[in-house]
Structure 1
Amino acid sequence: MYVTEKINPLELLSQLLTCPVAGKVDRNFEGLSHNDHLCPKFEELIRAILGAYKRHRSSAYDIQGFTDHGADILVSWEDDDGDMQSAALQVKSYREVEQDLKMESGKRQLIPALKSQYVNAMSKHRVGTFYVVLCCDGGKKHRDFVRRVSAEFTSLPGVKIIGPAQAWAFYEMLPGSVVAHCARVLCAADPLLRDVGDMFESKSKAFRWAAINAIVQNLEDKRPLEIDDLEMLDVSAQEESWQEDVEQAIQDLLWSGDLESVDGSTFELSHEAFLPLRALYYDVRARHGLSGGHMVTFLMQITDQSDIP
């Protein structure tokens, strides 16, 4: 796939950190420590962003974890002009917020410390964007604290406040999902990706999943598609009607001629079926080294246009 969008790693990071969230986030971060859980996971996901960027565009980058001078995680990369750009994440855990709120009102230090860390990061690392990632309670318990942080930093240049709901949505992502998102955004207008998208534009999620599984099994295992494989899929957002949707997808594939029934539960894939999807499979296999279930998940995510910012 060709890179068609002029998007840098910072924009990819911002998209994922500030993406719309659904659901209630209250005490999700309780029990997750700053050093053992939060920073290592955020660093892993940022490495996934930079790795995806590098697989599609030649670039140099560096990432440092647990740094001083105001940055928990410091990210640097070379832009198209050869200049180094930097961004910093300062993470605050549930426990840190709890401990600060137990102090008397005039003795609380977390917000002043954040301001000091911001100044240090800007002066020592010359970062372009300073993310304050609040991994605290997303309900009523820490609501006033989140509001105070937002109010205190609103007028400061280069600051982005990441609230608990957005932080949690990013934290629970898998690196593979991050890579798929980045590839889809970077190559949004790639002819091959567009052709695959057009092929599934009016189709259901179950149809797309059935077709992708059929292609992956055909290219890797050289064996027919079996219905039992589709009924046991690991669907991230399992719909109640999933089994019925899969059965309907099989019927649609049969009517289109892309599948031919062998014995009622096993199906042969037509040699001419889904040629753009086959090409996309080989691109992903060569670029990212995926196969099997990981390939199926990646192809499902990269062909899902529903959450493109």
Structure 2
Amino acid sequence: MFITNKATPEELLSEFLRGHDAPDIESEFRDLAHNNDLCPQFTERVDMVLQSYARHHTYVDDIQAMNDQGVDIFFRYRADGMESKNVGIQIKSYKEIEDSLKKDREGEPLESKLASQYLDAKSKHGVKIYYIFLCGDGALVSHANLERRIRAKYSSMDDVVVVGPKKAWAFYSLHDYEIAAHCASILCDGDYVLQRARESLNDFKASQQRMLIAWVLLQLEGERYVDVGELQDYGVGYGADDEEDDDLSEDMANLIDRLERYADLEYLDGETYKIDPSAFPELCALYFDLRVRHGISGGGAIRYLHSLLV
């Protein structure tokens, strides 16, 4: 797909960190260690965002082991016609937050430590945008109060973004296909093939769109005949409230009836069918683009197109 929106990598990252919430986040971060869990996983998520923007020269590195000087994750990017821009991320683990709240704590308060790390990031790394990830407990009053104090401290600073537990967990737990699909929907929204793919699905219900996408991709990946029950599993929406999922059997029957007219539908028995994927060239094009660009196939590819198109 062609890039039609010149958003920067930092703007893409901001889309995830400002707009995505994980519901009812509580103690998910409790047992995750700063160095062994949080830094590597967040680095992978950031790297996936950067990979999704191939037109930029990007660099990402988990530099926690390299004498942490104010940042846990650092990346640099350069957009067309722009100078390089450095972005830093500082991560505070559940344990660090808990330790900072102890009355008999040793060392400086977390707020003071963050302030000195911010200055280090500016002076030693030339960071222009500084993210603070607070990986605490979204339900604990003490953690929430600490988050409010930190937000208040940086509320007037345009170069600092405080990311609370809900948004941090939402980003931490994203799959590669979710990141790739969301970035593509922003960067390539005006792409001709993407628009045609969406148009090709307009006349189908959401559940039928999901089943059809799965059907085409399963056939492209070598399944000679596809079972109706498997397709109906893909028809279920990812949200909890999807009224169109009430009668997937009827939706499947209507889909089969429509495909008989133009997709060379064949059936082995009453529950196993085959279609010609070339009847949906736009879906085929997006699938192969995904395999080449991100190396995603199988169920991940199906869910990628679900996220992108439905």
Q: Which residue of 2 aligns with 1:249?
A: 251
Would the aligned equivalents of 2:226 and 2:274 in 1 still touch at CA under 8 Å? yes
- SS of 1:165's partner is helix
1:274 and 2:280 are equivalent in the alignment: yes
- SS of 2:52's partner is helix
Letter in 2 for 1:280: L
1:113-192 pair list within 5 angstroms: 113-139=113-139, 140-192=141-193
Q: 1:202 to 1:132 in 2, by over 3 A?
A: farther
Instruction: Give, in whole Å, the separation in 2 of the partners of 1:235 and 1:122.
Output: 47
Letter in 2 for 1:63: V
1:69 and 2:66 are equivalent in the alignment: no
Superposed CA offset, 1:147-173 (max 9, x none): 000011112340001011111111111
Which is further off, 187-196 or 260-269?
260-269
Instruction: Give, in whole Å, the separation in 1 of the partners of 2:154 and 2:83.
Output: 27
Q: Which ranges of 4 or more aligned residues in structure 1 deviate by more than 6 Å?
A: 240-243
Match for 2:57 among 55, 60, 67?
A: 60
- SS of 1:53's partner is coil
Which is further off, 62-71 or 217-226?
217-226
1:89-128 pair list within 5 angstroms: 89-103=89-103, 109-128=109-128
Q: Provide structure 1 residue ranges, at least 5 long, that are not aligned to the other structure.
A: 305-309
Q: 1:72 to 1:104 in 2, by over 3 A?
A: same
Q: Aligned residues: percent identity?
A: 32
Alpha-carbon shift at residue 36 of structure 1 (Å)? 1.1
Would the aligned equivalents of 2:177 and 2:301 in 1 still touch at CA under 8 Å? no
Which is further off, 6-15 or 76-85?
76-85
Alpha-carbon shift at residue 190 of structure 1 (Å)? 0.6
Instruction: Give, in whole Å, the separation in 1 of the partners of 2:53 and 2:167.
Output: 22
Would the aligned equivalents of 1:225 and 1:268 in 2 still touch at CA under 8 Å? yes
Letter in 1 for 2:99: Q
Instruction: Give, in whole Å, the separation in 2 of the partners of 1:271 and 1:162.
Output: 43
1:30 and 2:27 are equivalent in the alignment: no
1:204 and 2:201 are equivalent in the alignment: no
Q: 1:226 to 1:143 in 2, by over 3 A?
A: same
When normalised by structure 1's length, the TM-score is: 0.88
Alpha-carbon shift at residue 105 of structure 1 (Å)? 9.5
Instruction: Give, in whole Å, the separation in 2 of the partners of 1:176 and 1:276.
Output: 19
Q: 1:14 to 1:270 in 2, by over 3 A?
A: same
Would the aligned equivalents of 2:86 and 2:129 in 1 still touch at CA under 8 Å? yes
Would the aligned equivalents of 1:254 and 1:261 in 2 still touch at CA under 8 Å? no
- SS of 2:23's partner is coil
Which is further off, 196-205 or 180-189?
196-205
Q: 1:234 to 1:126 in 2, by over 3 A?
A: farther
- SS of 1:267's partner is strand
Letter in 2 for 1:291: S
- SS of 2:29's partner is coil
CA RMSD between the two structures: 2.5
Would the aligned equivalents of 1:225 and 1:267 in 2 still touch at CA under 8 Å? yes
1:229-240 pair list within 5 angstroms: 229-233=230-234, 237=238
Q: Which residue of 2 aligns with 1:6?
A: 6
1:15 and 2:24 are equivalent in the alignment: no
Superposed CA offset, 1:168-211 (max 9, x none): 11111112321221122110111111111223345333212211
- SS of 1:150's partner is helix
Q: Provide structure 2 residue ranges, at least 5 long, that are not aligned to the other structure.
A: none
Superposed CA offset, 1:17-65 (max 9, x none): 11242521122211111111111110010111111112xx2x3221121
Instruction: Give, in whole Å, the separation in 2 of the partners of 1:219 and 1:107.
Output: 59
Q: 1:271 to 1:302 in 2, by over 3 A?
A: closer
1:40 and 2:40 are equivalent in the alignment: yes
Q: May I ask how many residue pairs the two structures share in their alignment?
A: 301
1:294 and 2:300 are equivalent in the alignment: yes
- SS of 1:290's partner is coil
Q: 1:160 to 1:238 in 2, by over 3 A?
A: closer
Which is further off, 260-269 or 61-70?
260-269
Match for 1:303 among 283, 299, 309?
A: 309
Superposed CA offset, 1:113-160 (max 9, x none): 100111111111111110011101112231110100001111234000
Q: 1:159 to 1:202 in 2, by over 3 A?
A: farther
